[in-house]
Amino acid sequence: MDKFLVSKSNLSGRVRVSGSKNASLPIMAATLLTDEKCIIKNVPCLKDINTMIKILEILGKKIIFEKNTLTVEAKKSKKYVAPYQLVKTMRASFCCLGPLVAKRKKAKVALPGGCVIGPRPVDLHIKGLISLGADILVEDGYCLAEAKKLKGSHVYLGGPFGSSVLATANIIMAAVLAEGTTVVEHAACEPEVASLILFLRKMGADIEGENTPLLRIKGKKTLRGCEFEIIPDRIEAGTFIAASLATHSHINIEGAEPGHLTSVFEVARKMGAKIKIDKNSRIIQINPPKKIKAVNITTLPYPGFPTDLQAQFMVCLAKASGMSLITEKIYPDRFMHVAELNRMGATVQRTGPYSVIEGKKGLKGAELMASDLRASAALVIAGLAASGKSRIARIYHIDRGYEGIEKKLKKLGANIERVKA
């Protein structure tokens, strides 16, 4: 099992953002809706992508993945089982449920796994598919769905912590082949959902309302293959912004979509950063403050501050002047990184969905263990900002969501090495 050795670093230069993992995975699942070839470009080379490839291959697809281009070959299949051994490793694989029951009339998908960041039920997925006419049974760790014919319906996807991105994706993918019109209310508005809608439109789907919480979908009998390019990864871009702030380093981020990062820019500016954006070249210049200002952050559904950047920005606040408060409104238990940061000298007190951070001048390197994908990124940033050396174990988490993270950081001048444990 690999580890990272990380020590204090000054970063500089340019870094290019990869394609979005969270956009790629549902779009890959959507290729199950057609028997024609799909070509998807700018797909990041990640552990989660390779897992989804294996799932699609088990479901009868022929996949070629070269130079960040994914070709899903046309191949008819009646297979409908996504096994636990693969689905347990990432939550997005549950997105196969909707397209399978829509296209193949039957689906057996293991209940999902992924990062340990608190309860993430699939009740909205099931509720939505039942509304479309699917018969669903959950037993032995699997969700079994059948429907001779899905029919358009009114689906409300509001949950206790807001809208659900993956439930929205699943219902959209089922509805595009349903008979009649489906109205989805309280749909997620994340860029990754809008990207899925654009992909489905290129396949011939009739969907209105992307970037809004109200979608109208007119079902089609069949969908065609298409070519599509994945949007940039806004979470990776935000992670580099956090790294810039925490290490007091001036860096340029290339290839990101500034329009997807408005809430992140707002928080970074409140912390004292100066940000310049060249919209033509899509270069974001980050100029960090000498002293980070304490701020309060509340994670919210898009366009609010992303829960996937909460851990990384907590590292910055651990070095800020004053007291900060983070309120986690998406995954209230997503604070596994708090104990590790405190081991580095941070002062963070967590109570329920709240964490109070007392800023300190510096952090100290330590033996660390990553608990999930975004916590891994946070610990890497903390290691780069801390005096001394840090050893970060269980970095397989970070390989799920960041393409060549240590290579990109090294180009910026980071002291980071991947070693065998």
* Catalytic residue numbers, as ranges: 115
What is the distance, to the nearest Å, from the Cα of residue 342 to the centroid of all Cα atoms in its chain? 26
What is the distance, to the nearest Å, from the Cα of residue 280 to the centroid of all Cα atoms in its chain? 26
How far is residue 35's CA from residue 21's CA, in Å, rounded to a whole number? 24
- Is 191 in contact with 165 (CB distance < 8 Å)? no
Among 302, 320, 241, 243, CA closest to 274: 241
Q: Is the Cα torsion angle 399, 403, 404, 405 positive or negative in sign?
A: negative
- Is 23 in contact with 376 (CB distance < 8 Å)? no
Residue 10 phi, psi (nearest 5): -105, 125
Region of residue 196 (phi > 0: left; psi between -120 and 50: alpha; otherwise: beta): alpha
How far is residue 411's CA from residue 50's CA, in Å, rounded to a whole number? 25
How far is residue 297's CA from residue 315's CA, in Å, rounded to a whole number? 13
- Total residue length of the chain: 421
